[in-house]
Amino acid sequence: MSVYCVLRLCILCVPFYVYAGVMHYQDGDVINLEEKVWDLTLSINLKEVFLSCKYGIPALIKRGSGVVINTASFVALQGLATGNMAYSASKAAIISLTRDLAAAYAKHNIRVNVLCPGPTLTESFQRYLDEKVDREAEYLDLIPLKHFASVTDIARAALFLASDNSAYITGTTLVVDGGITTCRI
């Protein structure tokens, strides 16, 4: 049985899970978004996924099989009236890159999928919620299941994609968002 792990940026194992993410505080609408914020966001969110795959997939080819799980976001699947256009665009690009990788490397018995988590209760997200009175209630009102994802919820989805239970799944976007993408924000 393979060792499962979560990696940030370019630390690789088999199967490997790629997560890179920044939502810059100056990210906003396209008219007011500074190019340096756009470039930084895409450099971290998209380029790091590219580099992880660029240097990780050859090891999977050499091994004869493998699994890559990239991470995007629910915001890649729907527009947000709040701005954050660089973040949304970078996460949507990860979905497209994942489909291309799946098509290109299936012949090497490598499956490539992408997770799109919804709002997940991490320490940093909790700090963000705490910055404004009623922010948590506003978010929860948008989620049909009426609670945030736990880190365990996301890890279980990743383990499913890494396991033999998903042996015939590649190029797929697995949305783990409590139903938020079924609604309009």
pLDDT band at residue 155, thresholds of 50, 70 and 90?
A: very high
Among 4, 17, 25, 87, the active-site one is 87
pLDDT 10s digits, 59-97: 999 999 999 999 999 989 987 767 778 888 899 999 999
In a domain, 120, yes or no: yes
At 22 the pLDDT is: 58
> What is the dihedral sign for C-alpha 77, 79, 82, 87?
positive
Q: Give a yes or no: residue 1 inside a domain.
A: no
Looking at the domain assignment, is residue 129 inside a domain?
Answer: yes
Domain count, the chain: 1
108: left (phi over 0), alpha (psi -120 to 50) or beta: alpha
Please indicate, yes or no, if residue 2 is contained in any of the structural domains: no
CA distances from 63 to 3, 26, 66 (A): 14, 42, 8
**pLDDT per residue as tens digits for the range 94-147:** 999 999 999 999 999 999 999 999 999 988 888 888 888 888 898 899 899 999
Residue 86: inside a domain = yes
Tell me the three state secondary structure of residue 113. strand
Give CA–CA dist 182/158, Å, rounded: 21
Residue 128 annotated among the catalytic residues of the structure: no
pLDDT at 184 over 80: no
Please report, for the domain that includes residue 56, its CATH number. Answer: 3.40.50.720
Residue 70 lies in a domain: yes
Predicted local distance difference test score (pLDDT) of residue 25: 55
Residue 175 is assigned to a structural domain of this protein: yes
Supply the range of the domain harboring residue 174: 7-182
Residue 174 lies in a domain: yes
Report pTM: 0.84
